Amino acid sequence: MLALVMGAGVIGCQSPYANLPDYHPSTQPIASSGLQEPKPFAPADAVVVVPQGWEADKLKQEDNYSHQVWKSPSGNTCYGIIHFGMPLPLPASLVLPKYLDAMKESEGEANVVGQPQKDDALPGIRLTVECGDYRMRTNFICKGFGGWSVYVGTLRNKPEQPAEIELAERAREKTKIGLPAADAKSAANVTGTEPLVSK
């Protein structure tokens, strides 16, 4: 989807996401109940926090692009992470329009729902997107030469499961992008009671 995104096409473009309202986070700590321990996940260059009992789909991976999804027991909710490389360090506001264009080409639509918000702590943009069968509550992050979409996905034609969404949102908020060197070296051989990637 994202062999995208980047290139001369984004340079010098005026982005509709350049002047967004700021996101104001809760001051309450994020609970860890129902979540596995944080684990380095090298394909996405991130530390992921998978909900307990959620099953990993097969990793989708191409040059400079990876996408991993973990599905809830109901199958109606997922926690996912997309990682892609960029030839230049670019802000999320500039990359997001091209990302949405690629999503629309892949899924048939990519409609932003509600008001996106800027979150300098990510650093990036928080937004909800409806694309094909899914609604994705997304933290869209660009840092250095990498981009990430860490999201909670729900099926649009199925009843939403509030408890699953809340759990996946906590997993999303605890996800850390970028691996320290030691974690990156060991991440390919992660072991545990629940696999990060389906076999």
Structural domains in the chain plus CATH codes = 52-189 (3.40.1000)
Q: What is the mean pLDDT of residues 132-144?
A: 96
pLDDT averaged over every residue in the chain:
87
Residue bearing tokens 């949102």:
169
Q: Which residue has the higher pLDDT, 47 or 179?
A: 47
**Pairing mode of beta strands 46-48, 39-41:** antiparallel
Q: What is the mean pLDDT of residues 110-131?
A: 96
Give residue 1's pLDDT.
45
Give residue 192's pLDDT.
37
Does the CA dihedral 118-3-54-176 come out positive or negative? negative
